[in-house]
């Protein structure tokens, strides 16, 4: 019987995820698992109103509850200059409201008690006297003259407008439109949805009154950046702050912002001198933490009669809620909406965007999105679908006609982005073959004759992930590079420390694999550490699928640094010159004689025991990597749906997803990322919605109103791949963590429109629920 040799964990090996061992045994260490002696608990009193002036706050009843240690109000925080804090986009946000509440669920006061339930009960006893004001619940309403002013505390703020921003070339775009045979227009809305990680947000703040050291266990996707911001906001010396991000039960962007609860718990621990824990419940997470989208988009595509695209014009209006708190580079106010030209060779484009304050929770960019790429991708893919429909072209044909061609890379887009590499026609072909596209079109035609509704949706998305370079990208002024520190111990085992932070993406496995490939140490012998600011090198954290493009590149580079030193040591051991040493998968040998070799383990031991004269001991190093460009993963997604004319119910019959994220480090992990993203895309397209009534009451504040897909609803996915390496990444990898959430919603919606387009239905906004589909059919006299 053949014995299977276990995979060493080189690039391309689908080894099992190391971290899952502790997760599936229930041995993970999540925020709520952190318990310290003498720890107190915090609960938050939140506003029931979306917009109201605070007349008075009476804390007496709460204070009188046995077990309550303190009640913190905005007034108390104001004495320490902590009632307001800066947001990641340079605005300010109330930590605890002092003047007004500006969204339902806003933090008003906090109770600190010796028991979490006592804290909750007491928080409910805080009496707040409100003067209710008119609420503004959408950005169109917010920008009307005479709309209630939400941010009246901001000096110089006379209305609810936040920013106006443009990209591309207006004159050139206008010219393209004037020469066009036809213009196709689409107005669409990408509704507010929520990342909804399984684990909500929380903190255990432990400020030592004797030393002044603050240890903060925090659900943070970016612990280093958060530490710097804490140092600046709280005025604490940065070396006295240690942020530890323990195991994270999903982030999806929700754990990028700094939330008021973190700040109050830290302040409370500082004032009381005891550790304070705060953990949100599900509704608190849904109503007050970083949401996603809420974007109104209007696109126009200028075309020639043969289907060639000439220009793109886009206007967007973004609902940012009461505080402008998107995490996004300061240079790009609307994030990476620039790549709205997608996979197409568009000679001209002009993008305009405005942001408005409303009486809704702040946030806006979170949820597998790379700073608004999701909305951009949705718009262009829906717009191309509309064009195909109006021009009676096959949606694959119009795409093939306009794709940026493989030989055009590196490609400079009309809005000034340099796409690194791609082969769009190939990804589409692989997807079409896998689906059996032609046959299905025939089936569709047959069905249509019988009055049955079947649709095939196409989306050929390109996204952009992996911020920096630092000269173009920053968060709150901090340049976006990332880092890796590698220590190889005498026995040849290693510890890799990273500036990024996994929330479930499998970093402990995949980053070890990069070292395995570069140095030959088996992945099982490499411990990956992240998320502790005292013990990992500075980095900007994990979001925008930047870990592999940036942290992964840093890992490869630090491994190569160590390899160069290892060659000098190997030369010493082999009594040769370092220039003659070759390396192949963990073995060093003199060029031409591979039989006499030293392993990386031999070399590691020698690094501490037997060094050539003059060489420093040890085998360790650190690399800070500032990428020359971002990476541009892409793919084609195809969806087949059947629609019931009696109920409007949409059934996803098939979903084929072909992704290209360059070189795959661990194909199984990549597929897992895509599965998750396709599921989220499905939820966004068909189920998830956070909406608000006229008074600003949040509808969608729990999982019976806000519908996440379970295994019952989720379709089966058929996956395929192409590999177009990134030319500037040391191992050719592009990010993949967001691709499927970015690319799939348009594919699902396009499938629905493909099924009903012949009836004259051009658009149904997400979530495409059966009642909306039925109503659209009914309007055209096509419902049963």
- Catalytic residues, which ones? 221, 368-369, 738
**Distance between CA 569 and CA 579 in Å, rounded?**
12
**Residue 256, contacted partner among ligand CUM, ligand MCN, none, CB below 5-8 A by kind:** ligand CUM
Residue 135 or residue 736: which is nearer to ligand MCN going by CB?
736
How would DSSP label each residue in 648-690?
--EEEEEEEEEEE-BS-S-HHHHHHHHHHHHHHHHHHHHT---
Interface stretch with ligand MCN, choices 380-388, 436-444, 571-579, 734-742 (CB under 6 A): 734-742
Is 602:587 a contact under the CB 8 Å cutoff? no
DSSP 144: S
Is 424:384 a contact under the CB 8 Å cutoff? no
Among positions 205-234, residues that touch ligand CUM (CB under 6 A) are 221
Q: Shortest gap between Cβ of 601 and ligand CUM (angstroms)?
A: 37
**Distance between CA 602 and CA 604 in Å, rounded?**
6
Binding of residue 376 to ligand CUM (CB under 6 A): no
> Nearest Cα to 510, choosing from 739, 245, 731?
731
> Nearest Cα to 638, choosing from 446, 427, 451?
427
**Distance between CA 424 and CA 426 in Å, rounded?**
5
Q: Does residue 757 sit in helix, strand or coil? A: helix
Number of residues interacting with ligand MCN: please give it, by CB under 6 A. Answer: 35
Among positions 444-483, residues that touch ligand MCN (CB under 6 A) are none
Contact characters 15-54, ligand MCN, x per CB under 6 A: ----------------------------------------
What tokens does 545 get? Answer: 């699928």
Closest residue to ligand CUM using C-beta atoms = 253
The correct pick among 245, 266, 318, 510 for binding ligand MCN (CB under 6 A) is 510
What tokens does 469 get? Answer: 């370079």
Binding of residue 546 to ligand MCN (CB under 6 A): yes
Closest residue to ligand MCN using C-beta atoms = 737
Binding of residue 202 to ligand CUM (CB under 6 A): no
The correct pick among 18, 274, 338, 368 for binding ligand CUM (CB under 6 A) is 368
Is 88:257 a contact under the CB 8 Å cutoff? yes
The correct pick among 266, 289, 370, 726 for binding ligand CUM (CB under 6 A) is 370
What tokens does 630 get? Answer: 């971002």
Q: What residues pair up with 301 in beta bridges, in sequence order?
A: 184, 312
DSSP 344: B
Binding of residue 363 to ligand MCN (CB under 6 A): no
Quote the distance between the C-alpha of residue 771 and its chain's center. 30
Interface stretch with ligand MCN, choices 41-49, 72-80, 537-545, 553-561 (CB under 6 A): 537-545
Binding of residue 201 to ligand CUM (CB under 6 A): no
Is 128:57 a contact under the CB 8 Å cutoff? yes
Residue 399 or residue 734: which is nearer to ligand MCN going by CB?
734
**Distance between CA 111 and CA 272 in Å, rounded?**
12
**Residue 365, contacted partner among ligand MCN, ligand CUM, none, CB below 5-8 A by kind:** ligand CUM
Interface stretch with ligand MCN, choices 102-110, 306-314, 498-506, 621-629 (CB under 6 A): 498-506
- The C-alpha torsion from 137 through 140 and 145 to 151, rounded to 10°, is 50
The correct pick among 200, 320, 505, 722 for binding ligand MCN (CB under 6 A) is 505
Among positions 237-296, residues that touch ligand CUM (CB under 6 A) are 251-253, 256
Binding of residue 583 to ligand CUM (CB under 6 A): no
Residues with Cβ within 8 Å of 701's Cβ and at least 6 positions away in sequence, in order, are: 105, 283, 286, 287, 690
Interface stretch with ligand CUM, choices 38-46, 106-114, 359-367, 619-627 (CB under 6 A): 359-367
Q: Shortest gap between Cβ of 621 and ligand CUM (angstroms)?
A: 28
Cα-Cα end-to-end distance for the chain: 62
User: Which residue spans within 361-417 are E strands per DSSP?
Assistant: 363-364, 411-412
The correct pick among 323, 367, 481, 605 for binding ligand CUM (CB under 6 A) is 367
**Distance between CA 660 and CA 725 in Å, rounded?**
9
**Residue 673, contacted partner among ligand CUM, ligand MCN, none, CB below 5-8 A by kind:** ligand MCN
Interface stretch with ligand MCN, choices 181-189, 246-254, 327-335, 746-754 (CB under 6 A): 246-254
Binding of residue 742 to ligand CUM (CB under 6 A): no
Binding of residue 362 to ligand MCN (CB under 6 A): no
Binding of residue 462 to ligand CUM (CB under 6 A): no
How would DSSP label each residue in 71-118?
EEEHHHHHHTT-SEEE-TTS-EEESS-SSEE-STT-EEEEEEESSHHH
Residues with Cβ within 8 Å of 478's Cβ and at least 6 positions away in sequence, in order, are: 225, 228, 540
Residue 499 or residue 621: which is nearer to ligand MCN going by CB?
499
The correct pick among 104, 503, 623, 636 for binding ligand MCN (CB under 6 A) is 503
Residue with tokens 């080189």: 10
**Distance between CA 493 and CA 491 in Å, rounded?**
6
Residue 142 or residue 733: which is nearer to ligand MCN going by CB?
733
**Distance between CA 714 and CA 198 in Å, rounded?**
17
Interface stretch with ligand MCN, choices 25-33, 451-459, 584-592, 727-735 (CB under 6 A): 727-735
Helices (H), 687-732: none
Among positions 542-561, residues that touch ligand CUM (CB under 6 A) are 543-544
Binding of residue 545 to ligand MCN (CB under 6 A): yes
Number of residues interacting with ligand CUM: please give it, by CB under 6 A. Answer: 13
Binding of residue 504 to ligand MCN (CB under 6 A): yes
The residues of the shown chain that bind ligand CUM, judged by CB under 6 A, are 221, 251-253, 256, 365-370, 543-544
The residues of the shown chain that bind ligand MCN, judged by CB under 6 A, are 197, 250-253, 368, 503-507, 510, 542-548, 661-666, 669-670, 673, 676, 733-738
């Amino acid at each position: 019987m053949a014995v299977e040799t276990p995979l060493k964990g080189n690039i391309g090996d689908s080894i099992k995820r190391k971290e899952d061992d502790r997760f599936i045994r229930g041995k993970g260490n999540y925020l709520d698992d952190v318990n310290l002696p003498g720890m107190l608990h915090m609960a938050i009193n939140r506003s029931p109103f979306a917009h109201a002036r605070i007349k008075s706050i009476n804390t007496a009843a709460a204070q009188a509850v046995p077990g309550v240690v303190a009640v913190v109000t905005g007034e108390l925080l104001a004495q320490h200059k902590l009632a307001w804090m800066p947001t990641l986009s340079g605005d300010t946000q109330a930590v605890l409201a002092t003047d007004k509440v500006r969204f339902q669920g806003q933090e008003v006061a906090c109770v600190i008690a010796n028991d979490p339930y006592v804290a909750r009960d007491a928080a409910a006893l805080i009496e707040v006297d409100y003067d209710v004001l008119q609420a503004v619940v959408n950005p169109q309403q917010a920008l009307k003259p005479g709309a209630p002013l939400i941010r009246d505390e901001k000096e110089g703020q006379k209305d609810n407008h936040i920013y106006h921003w443009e990209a591309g070339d207006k004159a050139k775009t206008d010219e393209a439109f004037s020469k066009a045979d036809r213009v196709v227009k689409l107005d669409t809305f990408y509704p507010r949805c929520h990342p909804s990680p399984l684990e909500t947000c929380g903190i255990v703040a432990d400020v030592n009154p004797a030393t002044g050291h603050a240890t903060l266990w925090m659900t943070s996707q970016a612990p280093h950046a958060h530490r710097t911001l804490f140092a600046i906001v709280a005025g604490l010396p940065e070396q006295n702050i240690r942020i530890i991000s323990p195991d994270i039960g999903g982030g999806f962007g929700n754990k990028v912002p700094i939330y008021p609860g973190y700040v109050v718990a830290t302040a409370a621990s500082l004032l009381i001198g005891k550790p304070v824990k705060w953990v949100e419940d599900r509704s608190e997470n849904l109503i007050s933490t970083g949401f996603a989208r809420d974007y109104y988009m209007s696109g126009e595509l200028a075309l020639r009669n043969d289907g060639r695209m000439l220009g793109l014009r886009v206007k967007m209006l973004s609902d940012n809620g009461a505080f402008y708190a998107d995490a996004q580079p300061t240079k790009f106010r609307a994030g990476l909406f620039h790549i709205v030209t997608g996979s197409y060779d568009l000679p001209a484009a002009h993008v305009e965007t405005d942001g408005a304050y409303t009486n809704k929770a702040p946030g806006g960019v979170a949820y597998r999105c790379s700073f608004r790429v999701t909305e951009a991708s949705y718009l262009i893919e829906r717009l191309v679908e509309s064009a195909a429909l109006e021009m009676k072209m096959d949606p694959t044909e119009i795409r093939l006609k306009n794709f940026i061609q493989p030989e055009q890379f590196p490609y400079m887009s009309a809005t000034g982005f340099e796409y690194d590499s791609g082969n769009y026609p190939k990804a589409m072909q692989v997807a079409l073959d896998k689906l059996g596209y032609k046959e299905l079109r025939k089936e569709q035609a047959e069905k249509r004759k019988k009055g049955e509704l079947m649709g095939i949706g196409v989306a050929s998305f390109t996204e952009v992930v992996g911020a920096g370079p630092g000269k173009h990208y920053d968060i709150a002024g901090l340049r976006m590079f990332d880092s890796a520190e590698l220590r190889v111990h005498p026995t040849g085992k290693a510890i890799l420390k990273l500036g990024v932070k996994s929330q479930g993406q499998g970093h402990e496995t995949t980053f070890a694999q990069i070292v395995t490939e570069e140095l030959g140490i088996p992945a099982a012998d490499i411990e990956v550490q992240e998320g502790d600011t005292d013990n990992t090198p500075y980095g900007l954290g994990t979001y925008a699928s930047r870990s592999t493009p940036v942290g992964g590149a840093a890992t490869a580079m630090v491994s190569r640094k160590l390899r160069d030193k290892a060659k000098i040591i190997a030369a010493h051991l082999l009594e040769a010159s370092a220039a003659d040493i070759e390396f192949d998968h963990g073995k060093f040998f003199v060029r031409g004689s591979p039989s006499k070799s030293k392993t990386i383990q031999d070399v590691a031991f020698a690094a501490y025991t037997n060094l050539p004269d003059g060489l420093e001991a040890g085998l360790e190093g650190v690399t800070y990597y500032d990428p020359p460009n971002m990476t541009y993963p892409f793919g084609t997604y195809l969806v087949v749906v059947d629609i019931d004319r009696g109920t409007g119910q949409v059934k996803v019959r098939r979903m084929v997803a072909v992704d290209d994220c360059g070189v795959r480090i661990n194909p199984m992990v990549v597929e897992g990322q895509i599965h998750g993203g396709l599921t989220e895309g499905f939820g966004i397209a068909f189920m998830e919605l956070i909406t608000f009534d006229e008074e600003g009451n949040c509808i969608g504040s729990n999982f019976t109103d806000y519908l996440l897909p379970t295994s019952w609803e989720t379709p089966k996915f058929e996956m395929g791949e192409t590999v177009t390496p990134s030319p500037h990444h040391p191992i050719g990898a592009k990010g993949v963590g967001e691709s499927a959430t970015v690319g799939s919603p348009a594919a699902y919606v396009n499938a629905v429109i493909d099924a009903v387009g012949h009836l004259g239905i051009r658009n149904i906004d997400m979530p495409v629920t059966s009642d909306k589909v039925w109503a659209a059919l009914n309007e055209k006299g096509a419902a049963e």
